[in-house]
C-alpha cells in the first residue's frame, strides 16, 4: 500500500514538472515568434487549472506579466485590464500565505507600473509604490534578478526630474543578467532571459552606448537566432540610427 502511494505521488510530481516544462517551452516559442495569440491561450489554460500549487501560480503570474506588457504596448487597454486583474488576484493569494515575498514584491512593482501605463495620472502616487516594492524585493532576496529588473524599469521610465536615470537602470539590468546567468539550465528557453538581454540592448541605445549595444545584439543572435522582433525590427532600426 505504501509503495502504491509513493508511485502515485511520484507520477503526479512528474506530470506537474512535465506540464510546467511544456508551458515554459510554449511561452518561449510564442515570445521569439511574436505569437501572442498562442501566449494568451497558454495563460488562459493555466488560469483554468484547479488546485493550483503556489509554484504553479507564480509561473502563471510570470506569463501574465509578460502578456500584460504586450497588451499595453499595442494599446489594448481593455485586454490589459482583464489580465492585470487576474494576475493581481493570483499575486494577492501568494502574498496572503507569505510565499516568496521577494518575487511577490517584484511583481507588485511591475503591476503598479502597468497601472501607470493604463492611466498616466496615477504616476505621482503609484510611481513611488512601484519603486518601494522593487527595493523591498531586492532587500528580501539580493539574489533575485526580478527585483533588479523592476527597479531598473522604474528608473528607466521615471522622468529625470523625479529622480529617474536610464544610466542607473542599465546597471540594474546588468545585475539581473548576471544573476540569471548563474543558473545555466534555468535560462534555457526562458523568455525572461531574452527579455533582460533586450532591455540591456535598448538601454544601451537610449544612453548612446552604441558599441555595447552591438555586443548585446550579437549576444542575442547567438542565444536565439530566431528572435523575430529583434531580427526584423529592433536591429534594423539600430542600423538606420547608426547611419544618421
Q: What is the pLDDT of residues 161-214, one digit of tens each?
A: 777 789 999 999 999 999 999 999 999 999 999 999 999 999 999 999 999 999
Q: Which of 92, 89, 72 is nearest to 81 (CA)?
A: 72
How far does CA 104 lie from the centroid of its chain? 13
Q: Which of 200, 110, 124, 112 is nearest to 163 (CA)?
A: 124
Half-sphere exposure (Cβ direction) of 83: Cα atoms closer than 13 Å: 25
The count of domains in the chain is: 2
Clarify whether residues 143 and 234 are in a common domain.
Answer: yes
Clarify whether residues 91 and 177 are in a common domain.
Answer: no
Clarify whether residues 73 and 18 are in a common domain.
Answer: yes
121 domain residue, yes or no = no
Write out the residue range of the structural domain in which residue 159 sits. Answer: 135-244
How far is 230 from 146, CA to CA, in rounded Å? 22
Length of the chain: 244
Clarify whether residues 77 and 150 are in a common domain.
Answer: no
- pTM metric for this prediction: 0.90
pLDDT digit string, tens, across residues 3-48: 444 433 333 334 444 446 789 999 999 999 999 999 999 999 999 9
How far is 83 from 111, CA to CA, in rounded Å? 11
115 domain residue, yes or no = no
Contact present, 110 and 153 (Cβ < 8 Å): yes
End-to-end CA distance of the chain: 74
How far is 82 from 118, CA to CA, in rounded Å? 12
Amino acid at each position: 500500500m505504501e509503495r502504491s502511494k509513493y508511485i502515485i505521488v511520484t507520477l503526479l510530481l512528474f506530470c506537474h514538472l512535465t506540464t510546467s516544462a511544456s508551458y515554459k517551452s510554449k511561452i518561449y516559442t510564442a515570445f521569439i515568434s511574436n505569437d501572442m495569440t498562442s501566449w494568451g491561450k497558454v495563460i488562459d489554460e493555466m488560469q483554468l487549472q484547479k488546485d493550483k500549487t503556489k509554484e504553479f501560480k507564480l509561473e502563471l503570474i510570470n506569463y501574465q506579466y509578460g502578456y500584460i506588457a504586450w497588451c499595453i504596448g499595442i494599446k489594448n487597454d481593455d485586454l490589459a485590464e482583464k489580465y492585470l486583474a487576474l494576475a493581481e488576484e493570483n499575486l494577492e493569494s501568494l502574498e496572503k500565505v507569505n510565499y516568496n515575498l521577494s518575487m511577490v514584491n517584484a511583481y507588485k512593482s511591475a503591476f503598479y507600473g502597468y497601472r501607470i501605463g493604463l492611466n498616466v495620472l496615477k504616476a505621482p502616487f503609484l510611481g513611488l509604490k512601484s519603486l518601494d516594492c522593487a527595493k523591498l524585493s531586492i532587500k528580501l532576496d539580493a539574489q533575485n534578478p526580478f527585483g533588479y529588473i523592476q527597479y531598473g524599469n522604474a528608473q528607466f521610465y521615471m522622468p529625470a526630474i523625479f529622480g529617474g536615470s536610464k544610466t542607473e537602470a542599465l546597471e540594474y539590468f546588468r545585475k539581473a543578467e548576471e544573476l540569471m546567468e548563474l543558473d545555466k539550465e534555468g535560462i534555457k528557453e526562458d523568455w525572461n532571459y531574452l527579455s533582460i538581454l533586450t532591455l540591456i540592448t535598448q538601454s544601451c541605445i537610449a544612453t548612446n552606448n552604441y558599441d555595447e549595444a552591438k555586443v548585446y545584439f550579437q549576444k542575442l543572435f547567438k542565444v536565439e537566432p530566431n528572435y523575430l522582433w529583434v531580427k526584423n525590427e529592433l536591429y534594423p532600426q539600430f542600423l538606420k540610427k547608426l547611419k544618421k
